Structure 1
Amino acid sequence: MKLSARDAPGFIARPDVSRSGMLIFGADAMKVAARRKALTDALIGPDGVDEMRFDRMTGADLRSEPARLLDAIKAQGFFPGQRAVLVEEATDGLAKTFSAALDEWQQGDAFIIATAGQLTARSALRKLFEGAPNALALALYDDPPGRAEIEAAIASAGLTNVPTPAFDALSAMGRTLGPGDFAQLLEKIALYKLNDPEPLTVAEVEGLAPQTADAAIDDLIAAVANGAVPKVGVAMMRLAGQGANPTTLCIGATRHFRTLHMAAAMGGGRPEEALGRMRPPVFGPRRDAMAAQIRAWGPARLEAALSALIDTDLQLRSASRAPALSLLERAFIRVAMMRPRG
């Protein structure tokens, strides 16, 4: 049967071993690996603490020796506790092998974990696990993780004192970072907060978040939005030395000003409240800085700045022979000078 994304975190945290097994599949190998590890840890202990109750094989192993799967499922261990068998890189060609194993499975046999890449609705392996009355199939898509998944990840990392603002900040990062990067961030935060009784804060979350070349782009966009004309040239020189793409920089600035404009157009409250209602929401020091920018610019000037950036983007994508970085720098300076002084 199918296991929904909503029910998956609960089942993976507390597997029902009266089930024969689960197929986990999806295009994102990192997501598949993360779910597989969480399920394995729940069955035999963290990080495979009891390898004596665990048997790992690949799809290639089964193609050359199909009987190996059933042998591993039925094998009797020397130590008590739930046993598990993992088959990685499973394919449709192994559907009959898995079908025989599911038919022969009995209560007390090893739990089957199969992982695969993207499988279509016509996939024989997918149809087998979805149609089996005692097995499960979990499809992982590129959608950002839901609240239940993020809550499960936070709990798995050992974080307990996470108030709503910090949770919202982590949720926003969980929707933008890859599964591996988000897991590493949670591990880093858990280590940082070890033996710290104080609640996790938004500033701590943002301070521990991965720092990449995007930070330099953020500095440039902040200089434009804050009207800091001298800083625009310095930031542009730094990014030019890093080989930044002018169109990418323009898209980033356009996205920032579009967010400011949308929040300013919402009305009916403070800019901070409007930014909090955005999807994804804006939190912490970044929200405060953007709220100040909204107040300084006002809707009319933000609309003019957005129009100028869109025109520049069109020029960068055209067949013009004008130096792209110089064209963009002049546009950023013109936009920065639109912000009222004082």
Structure 2
Amino acid sequence: MTALKAHEVARFLVRPDLDEGIFLAYGPDGGLVRETAQRLIRHLSGDDPASANISVLEGADLSSDPSQLLVEARSGSLFAGKRIIRVRNATKALVMPLTELRDDPGGAAIVLEADNLAPRDALRALVEAAKFGRALPCYPDSDETLMALMRETFNQAAIRIDNDVVPTLREILGNDREITRRELEKLTLYAANTKLLTRDDVLLLCADNGVLAIDAILDATGNGHAEKLELALNRALAANVNPQQLLAMLTNHFANLRRWRTDVDAGRSARAVLEATKPRPHFSRMASLEQQLRLWGDRALGTASDRLLQATSDTRRRPVLAEAVLRRTTLALCMMAAAS
């Protein structure tokens, strides 16, 4: 009986102890399931992948005729290459034909891809109990494994990265391995000639430009940077961000500043207040938010909130003027900060 732990799968893929049998990649991370199957198939194909005889089947098709899997596995390769059968979206409907193959795969390798399976699932139980079976659990990456993957990818490509590249990428990307791989490939290609990656490169290529523009609007307004505000507004509006949405986010931002200001006035440091916030602001904004808490007092924040509420009311009455109201209001708040 061979039931690998999730952390053992990467080591197994480097040097599988079987070259035939039933391999089951399963788990909630669909991207990692597919990547695991692909890596295994590359290894099983040997030194001459072109000679491998690879068939790709869909679990939904096999559910209506499970015996088709048995026929595929028992069919010899016309070119004497490795016989590999890849089954996507495999289910327990395949248990019957796989029962006939688990102890005598006849040289064939059957690579199954499945969703998350409970320990008692019939398909998972069969593969784990089979002499020629290996079950490969694929669970979402932790912070540590994702960051290690990022560093390994850049090291292999001989790309030098700034210290904040990996933390920034981790903030932007989720836990889906396929998405992470795709973004890393994009960054590697981008830096193929310069062999250098900076945080700005990561933000340019991987982050949601609309989201970045919104953060820039909030911080430029709060810090009194009129030129940055103009650029950020143009960028957000060009990305079709709704002016009323921006006013709502500004209202929320200044409400947060006022709440944090109360804690600062009570004796806590601005950094301590921000780090205790849930969700915590992105680390790249910490210095900007600390500065805003120094610039704005409670009374001024109350005035700013009143102006934003009035602006929101004005845009609801006359939506056609929403952009003009947004620009006028943010510039007025920006000037208040600059005068502090």
- TM-score, structure 1 normalization: 0.65
**Match of 1:42, as an amino acid?**
H
**In 1, Cα distance between equivalents of 2:42 and 2:251:** 43
| 8 Å CA contact retained: 2:33, 2:138 | no
Match of 2:288 among 293, 306, 322: 293
- Residue 223 of structure 2 aligns with which residue? 226
**Aligned sequence identity (%):** 24
**Match of 2:87, as an amino acid?**
V
**In 2, Cα distance between equivalents of 1:215 and 1:76:** 56
Q: In structure 2, do the counterparts of structure 1 residues 86 and 293 end up closer, same or farther at CA, with 3 Å as the change threshold? A: same
Q: In structure 2, do the counterparts of structure 1 residues 58 and 322 end up closer, same or farther at CA, with 3 Å as the change threshold? A: same
| 8 Å CA contact retained: 1:57, 1:86 | yes
1:303 Cα deviation from its structure 2 partner: 8.7
1:59 Cα deviation from its structure 2 partner: 1.7
1:22-61 Cα distance to aligned partner (Å, 9 max, x none) = 3223455444333333333333279x94263322222244
Q: In structure 2, do the counterparts of structure 1 residues 114 and 210 end up closer, same or farther at CA, with 3 Å as the change threshold? A: same
| Map 1:62-101 → 2, pairs under 5 A | 62-74=62-74, 76-77=76-77, 83-101=83-101
**In 2, Cα distance between equivalents of 1:75 and 1:153:** 41
**In 2, Cα distance between equivalents of 1:127 and 1:310:** 60
1:162 Cα deviation from its structure 2 partner: 4.3
- Residue 112 of structure 2 aligns with which residue? 114
1:64-87 Cα distance to aligned partner (Å, 9 max, x none) = 543443444455547787653211
2:57 partner SS: strand
Q: In structure 2, do the counterparts of structure 1 residues 314 and 16 end up closer, same or farther at CA, with 3 Å as the change threshold? A: farther
Asked if 1:194 is matched to 2:192, the reply is yes
1:194 partner SS: coil
**In 1, Cα distance between equivalents of 2:189 and 2:160:** 14
**Match of 1:10, as an amino acid?**
R
Q: In structure 2, do the counterparts of structure 1 residues 101 and 333 end up closer, same or farther at CA, with 3 Å as the change threshold? A: farther
1:13 Cα deviation from its structure 2 partner: 4.0
Q: In structure 2, do the counterparts of structure 1 residues 235 and 164 end up closer, same or farther at CA, with 3 Å as the change threshold? A: closer
**Match of 2:112, as an amino acid?**
A
**In 2, Cα distance between equivalents of 1:119 and 1:128:** 12
1:263-292 Cα distance to aligned partner (Å, 9 max, x none) = 96445xxx9xx79xx97973xxxx3xx354
| Map 1:278-289 → 2, pairs under 5 A | 282=283, 287=284
**In 1, Cα distance between equivalents of 2:61 and 2:24:** 17
- TM-score, structure 2 normalization: 0.65
Between 73-82 and 62-71, report the one with greater CA deviation. Answer: 73-82
Over aligned residue pairs, what C-alpha RMSD do you find?
A: 5.2
- Residue 38 of structure 2 aligns with which residue? 37
Between 226-235 and 5-14, report the one with greater CA deviation. Answer: 226-235
**Match of 2:219, as an amino acid?**
A
